[in-house]
Structure 1
Amino acid sequence: MDDLRERGEGLTMDVDFRDMMASFPTGVSVVTAQHANAAPWGMTCSALCSLSMNPSTLLVCLRTESPTLQAAVRSGGFAVNLLHGDAQGVASLFASGAPDRFDRVLWRPTLHTRSPALVEAAHAVADCVVERTHPAGDHVIVIGAVRSVERLRSDSALLYGFRQYGQWSSTAPAIA
């Protein structure tokens, strides 16, 4: 019982929770959006999951104060760029908040929402329309109806866990 921590311990709980989640490897994506003719926005995101197959629906969690969230809500759409295994630099770039990040990557607008598709860094891109949002702590859950999926590569996927990047290859042996 001494190892159990309960809510209310403040900073200790935050550090323990962050450490626990760092030990949970997950895929890496960049969520992008563009409102009207304004500059594009994007952020690295690992809080992503498939919500429904029919209809095809994704759930992403974006920081409440994120300009990417604001652009997605204002435009009514966003793209989820699933990064391939060699795109660690792009993941780091979009996690940094560098103002020139879209000048440093090749991208083009998606068909339906005109959100940026990172054509050299992504192995797949989902073009989504915002269905609804739900505030949750310091993030907002965004539910998006997938309007189209574009497969750009199929050789690997970028992963993040234990505070480091790795990749899963399509030729990796199955785990028994």
Structure 2
Amino acid sequence: MTAAPVSRDVTAVQGFRDLMSAFPTGVSVITALDADGAPHGMTCTSLTSVAADPPTLLVCLNLRSGTLAAVRDSGGFAVNLLHTNGKRAAELFSSAAPERFTRLPWRPSAEVGAPLLVEDAFATAECVVAGLHVVEDHAIVIGKVVDVGQREDDPLLYGFRSFSSWER
């Protein structure tokens, strides 16, 4: 069986973006330290579990991302799941704003040293890179979870190109 050619049709790309925007998901900020110890982070909705034993997850990061470079440099990263009041962090880390880590409080994680967003995240996972696979313009980064933290709060959601919440 021959694979169908990849479409570069603008209509197909927009249709795909519309499709994915209709799939609400939680909002996270992926963080890591580069080789010089500088923090990097980006908003990410491409996050999923892979296995429960051992705990493993994956994130998809753009190949041009400084965060991906930092993940490669350090061999680890943190997943910061944002709560309903974390919209400010989601917007900040999806922008090209300089010095983003000076604009909100964070601390280094205990296991891998990656930034934890102490006010905007209700749950965190520290991960060691267990694999990386490049697909088109993104890398699928497999993370072995080495530590988790969580407090009671409601998650920030993103779908239909807007933020929302899921209240219990």
Flag whether TM exceeds 0.5 (same fold): yes
Q: Secondary structure at 2:64's aligned position in 1?
A: coil
Partner of 2:160 in structure 1? 162
Aligned residue pair count? 164
Q: 1:149 to 1:16 in 2, by over 3 A?
A: same
Q: TM-score, normalised by structure 2?
A: 0.94
Q: Any idea what the Cα deviations from partners look like across 1:44-72, whole Å, max 9, x if unmatched?
A: 00000011000000100000110100000
Partner of 2:110 in structure 1? 111
| C-alpha contact (below 8 Å) 2:106/2:117 kept by paired residues | yes
Q: Which runs of 5+ in 1 are unaligned?
A: 1-5, 172-176
Q: 1:96 to 1:53 in 2, by over 3 A?
A: same
Taking the aligned partners of 1:8 and 1:23, their CA distance within structure 2 comes to 21
| C-alpha contact (below 8 Å) 1:129/1:146 kept by paired residues | yes
| C-alpha contact (below 8 Å) 2:35/2:70 kept by paired residues | no
Question: CA shift at 1:9, angstroms?
Answer: 5.9
Taking the aligned partners of 2:44 and 2:158, their CA distance within structure 1 comes to 10
Partner of 2:123 in structure 1? 124
| C-alpha contact (below 8 Å) 2:26/2:156 kept by paired residues | yes
Aligned-residue identity in percent = 51
Partner of 2:51 in structure 1? 52
Taking the aligned partners of 2:165 and 2:26, their CA distance within structure 1 comes to 9
Partner of 1:3 in structure 2? none
Q: Secondary structure at 2:16's aligned position in 1?
A: helix
Q: Any idea what the Cα deviations from partners look like across 1:45-102, whole Å, max 9, x if unmatched?
A: 0000011000000100000110100000110000000000111111000000211210
Look up the equivalent residue of 2:60 and give its one-letter code: C
| C-alpha contact (below 8 Å) 2:31/2:40 kept by paired residues | yes
Taking the aligned partners of 1:65 and 1:37, their CA distance within structure 2 comes to 18
Q: TM-score, normalised by structure 1?
A: 0.90
Q: 1:9 to 1:64 in 2, by over 3 A?
A: closer
| C-alpha contact (below 8 Å) 1:43/1:97 kept by paired residues | no
Q: Which runs of 5+ in 2 are unaligned?
A: none
Query: Computing the radius of gyration over CA atoms, which structure comes out larger, 1 or 2?
Result: 1
Taking the aligned partners of 1:48 and 1:119, their CA distance within structure 2 comes to 20
Question: CA shift at 1:37, angstroms?
Answer: 3.8
Taking the aligned partners of 2:136 and 2:42, their CA distance within structure 1 comes to 18
